[in-house]
Structure 1
């Protein structure tokens, strides 16, 4: 019996959500719906411009959000990341623990510098555009992995954003190799189209040898396959993963496992903020498959959780909301 359902690695960030319009994004040169890496100076300038539009602050990072989603549903996770010994770093750890990632399951190495932060700009159509300064999380390395805790987990979960620097990419590849050594299955999220477009060699190196479970959205799948045909993209994903979850926004998701492709319909809701929806989908899905649920059942749970999330601001549910979704889903959970 494994101690943890999932061992996660990724960038530790503090998310700062703001309301913007499309002309603002055009004025600052950002493509709507994308993630852009910036240096500390540009991030500070943008933060000053947006200070009257800020609506929410929370610990973030793709894998961090996924681990919180898993923990809020009752799963056991261990999360390795890197923060600075500063106010945002302390906020990150406090907020993670307050949202269900237990103190002993949060491995945050600290160093002097700045904790990573992400400006999450929400347009009226609920789309999120990310502007990220990685801070010290960019130096997350092999030394920051905990092989002991990884070996005690059912799954390793890797966020695709780690391919954006050689140091973090090497850590992700090492984690995958360690997982294989210890019989731990590997799950990967592509995270963002930009990781495929601009860091393809790192992504290919991470995928080399195959992935047990892949998470991606439609745009990421099409970009990875270099096609505008979803059918072609699906065939390409089958070549690199044993199973995958391909999210389709309001249309639901396609799930592939053991040679079968299953469609999970979406739930019609009034979306106001899509930030974190994919991360929570992954967390809820991982919770399901590590708690005796089928691929289909896990997919339905993930759709319900992410549909609830996009009706409110912020990248995660409240704990009581997660518990209610779990309760309403069925007694099997």
Structure 2
């Protein structure tokens, strides 16, 4: 059974006698076997500085401040001149998610956003390209005459971190730069709450809504990651309405879930979110990871794992069921799953930034695999109903949990390679479930 991406060959010579029921389609890229996302393209820049440096640029030690383009450019030039920069990583929550998806699936994802028209070797824009998977399609980026976003992490002599954020032109994506044909053929459109909450007059919100309109037109699931609790808690009712009107899948952590729903228990928050969306992914730090969704009541599958206590009694009873969009169910049944941190979590957490994005990348891989398999084997019993995922809710939790662990265990939020046991244990126990 073939899923997006390359796998180890089992034969030295190609096998020419293929099953006639599994004839490959003539096109190289199957429709629906990619994901597309919109992001504020930015680079995370780390540097070690002294107190005089912070004072020179009007920064307060230990705090976060938005700086203008001129200040950002002067600051960056000094850091480069004095060779103070230790790391320059491609950032952005959707960019991280799509990169990790492409690493896991070894397949195409499409990024929409802006990029500098003029790129110098060694610059922050150059680093963005260098730190991005070659499987990510950047051909649809809109060129701008100026800087993309930069987030400076300035580490003082005592280890205190000061943040200077320069948005640059990252919110200047125009609505006419949204390609309908790319969204129409995708498995999912991936967005973040930051895209909607921009400064007045910036075109990014209009571009985002146009992309959502294309996704609705072609029945493509819209995925929203909530980004940060500070955006959500300013107006939770706005986001509840936004989810209900535009979104199929929401990804959040326990703090964002609390801001959205008012529920501190991630399970109850996920259950409430099902009032507005079809599928919920909620990471909860040391507690683990929760998922909630819908399935057809007649075809629910009981778990063989121990039944878990919680605010909803024995909530994981049907976690072996596959998720469906509520609109595709005759009698929708709410299903839930939970998994504790993989191996209890890393011995030392190197980086919490991006763990939720990594979990979402695993979910997107499963959704895309479902579309891929439907196109290759349309008469399979796996597709007798309109399932959203290829695997059960429990297995998606398992996969997402493992990918999150990999990011927590490294410095960068972007994977540099697939999971170590991908070919062996995961390939057998996960995909064949």
Normalising by the smaller structure, the TM-score range is 0.7 to 0.9
Which whole-Å CA distance do the structure 2 matches of 1:286 and 1:122 have between them? Answer: 35
Answering whether residue 422 of structure 2 is matched by residue 326 of structure 1, we say yes
Answering whether residue 80 of structure 2 is matched by residue 77 of structure 1, we say no
Structure 1 residues 19-57: Cα deviation after superposition (integer angstroms, max 9, x where no partner):
89xxx9973433xxxxx7543356468766898874321
287-296 or 71-80, which deviates more: 287-296
* Counterpart pick for 1:15 among 26, 39, 44: 44
What is the CA-CA distance between 1:254 and the residue it aligns to? 0.6
User: 2:339 matched to which residue of 1?
Assistant: 264
Which whole-Å CA distance do the structure 1 matches of 2:193 and 2:414 have between them? Answer: 19
Change (3 A) 1:138 1:316: same
User: 2:7 matched to which residue of 1?
Assistant: none
SS in 2 for 1:240: coil
* Counterpart pick for 2:216 among 170, 176, 180: 180
User: 1:89 matched to which residue of 2?
Assistant: 125
SS in 2 for 1:215: strand
Which whole-Å CA distance do the structure 2 matches of 1:131 and 1:324 have between them? Answer: 36
Which whole-Å CA distance do the structure 1 matches of 2:163 and 2:340 have between them? Answer: 27
TM-score if structure 2 supplies the norm length? 0.65
Larger radius of gyration: 2
Change (3 A) 1:133 1:210: same
Which whole-Å CA distance do the structure 2 matches of 1:108 and 1:308 have between them? Answer: 29
Which whole-Å CA distance do the structure 2 matches of 1:277 and 1:157 have between them? Answer: 16
TM-score if structure 1 supplies the norm length? 0.82
8 Å CA contact retained: 2:187, 2:367: no
User: 2:314 matched to which residue of 1?
Assistant: none
Which whole-Å CA distance do the structure 1 matches of 2:167 and 2:238 have between them? Answer: 17
Larger RCO, structure (CA 8 Å, separation 6 or more):
1
What is the CA-CA distance between 1:183 and the residue it aligns to? 1.2
Higher helix content, 1 or 2: 1
SS in 2 for 1:137: coil
Change (3 A) 1:240 1:173: same
What is the CA-CA distance between 1:93 and the residue it aligns to? 3.0
Q: How many positions carry a matched residue from both structures? A: 316
User: 1:282 matched to which residue of 2?
Assistant: 360
Change (3 A) 1:303 1:231: closer
What is the CA-CA distance between 1:231 and the residue it aligns to? 5.3
Which whole-Å CA distance do the structure 1 matches of 2:102 and 2:116 have between them? Answer: 24
What is the CA-CA distance between 1:192 and the residue it aligns to? 1.2
What is the CA-CA distance between 1:3 and the residue it aligns to? 4.1
Change (3 A) 1:184 1:276: same
User: 1:100 matched to which residue of 2?
Assistant: 134
**Structure 2: tracts of 5 or more residues without a match:** 1-29, 295-333, 370-389
What is the CA-CA distance between 1:122 and the residue it aligns to? 8.8
Which whole-Å CA distance do the structure 2 matches of 1:323 and 1:138 have between them? Answer: 33
RMSD across aligned C-alpha pairs, in angstroms?
3.1
Higher strand content, 1 or 2: 1
User: 1:33 matched to which residue of 2?
Assistant: none
**Structure 1: tracts of 5 or more residues without a match:** 31-35
Change (3 A) 1:86 1:294: farther
What is the CA-CA distance between 1:170 and the residue it aligns to? 2.2
8 Å CA contact retained: 1:215, 1:244: yes
